Structure 1
């Protein structure tokens, strides 16, 4: 799910990408917030397969994070995350959006230099075409690539 703030809002210059999952055990819930100066990557919690995923805790946590954003805006979202990482566009080589192909979920990756890990998540409940269009507004600052397929490599 992507969520651009209302045009009349002071936060209308950002694009939020909601409900990305990454990792193995535990899986991590991530949010991305793209802004004119860079990108926030928010780690919003970890989940184990047996005790959390099987009981839907990840879905409830994603809904809670969404409610925090709608009630308190970007400041509330940043405060509620377990960790927040800021990447200025100068540190980002490109943003890659894979459509997921036939068998996997779409994938979003912020490719940084060799000095820092490049965050990469599988997206849940996202309209890839709408997200691709929304990312166009950042193409003057960072290269945005769109790719068909799973994005395994």
Structure 2
């Protein structure tokens, strides 16, 4: 069984890849600082933070920060294109992750634009808070232990 953060990243990555809006995007599992202009547009899904609170002896509340980062080249309208991207990403992530035993909401959106020589490059980072209730981690019981 996959780890719960792995399941979330995989589900979101698969949903984004399957949507026609992101056809032609390169998917990066590890986001490097420098991305070649010919590789754009690219997106990645990461879970850089996870908070755990003990709810009871049998339950923990896991509050995971899930981020979707999208970088694309464009002209002076690159921010407008990223705004359109953000609408699709928000709808897909929430539809993919929200269920009765798991909450998911958009926490923050950041857009940064810069130039790489003569072209504009925009980066969109959307941060979602995913809350789910899971049993505490345990080790399997072995005959020796």
TM-score bucket (shorter structure): under 0.3
Query: Which is greater in Rg?
Result: 2
Structure ranking higher in strand proportion: 2
